[in-house]
Chain A
């Protein structure tokens, strides 16, 4: 079945450091890919998405590129802030749109 693998956390960075959170997936056909962010005590919020190969999703300084050849969707940000401290989930939706699969989440802590 479909699956999503994320790098294990927690990840601790200093403010203004570069962030990469790795995400790889296994799916048949052409899934859509998402990054969600969860702040403490809240639900998941969509951060960015990409729906076909080579698409780049971006939002709030975060970027991720849909790489079909490596089945990856790594999240990057050039300069993190304390306010980016949260849990980040990589997810896919199968090409039928009915099956959503989430990775286990990566906790990010940014220190001032």
Chain B
């Protein structure tokens, strides 16, 4: 049981490039989310999904797109990378949307934008 898997673990981009951060979970979880972690700011929610075909914005959605075509996968897309998007990105999931279950986190993607 792999849990939440994120790829790649590290990435360096140039300003203006695009890329997709991958996230997959094998626990049949309904709820999936993306956070960014910046020094002194904790985790901030970018986008989340409550099921296949349903996504919504979090606290800091600008510059990011998501889709949820399957229960397992929840990719995060940067259409035109900016230095302000340099951060560590975490994907997380939990079983049922309306529950008090904790979220399970991936190991993160460390992204640098030059």
A interface residues, Cβ below 8 angstroms from B: 32, 34, 36, 42-46, 49, 51, 89, 93, 96-98, 100, 102-105
Closest to A45 in B: B105
What's the least CB distance linking B66 to chain A, in Å? Answer: 16
Secondary structure at chain A's binding surface: helix, strand, loop or mixed? Answer: strand
* Beta-carbon contacts under 8 Å, B2-48 to A: 4, 31, 33, 35, 40-43, 45, 48
Cross-chain contact of B99 among A42, A97, A102, A103 (Cβ < 8 A): A97
CA distance A101 to B37 in the complex (A): 13
Bound CA–CA A49/B104 (angstroms): 13
B: residues with CB less than 8 A from A are 4, 31, 33, 35, 40-43, 45, 48, 50, 90, 92, 96-108
Q: Is the CB of B50 within 8 A of A43?
A: no
A97 with B96: in contact, given A102-B43, A105-B42 (CB under 8 Å)? yes
Q: With a CB–CB cut-off of 8 A, which chain A residues contact B100?
A: 32, 49, 51, 93, 97
Residue contact A44 to B105, C-beta cutoff 8 Å: yes
**Measured CA separation A49–B50 after assembly (Å):** 22
Given that A98-B50, A98-B98, A100-B33 are known contacts, is A43 also in contact with B108, CB under 8 Å in the complex?
yes
How many whole Å from B88's CB to the nearest CB in chain A? Answer: 9
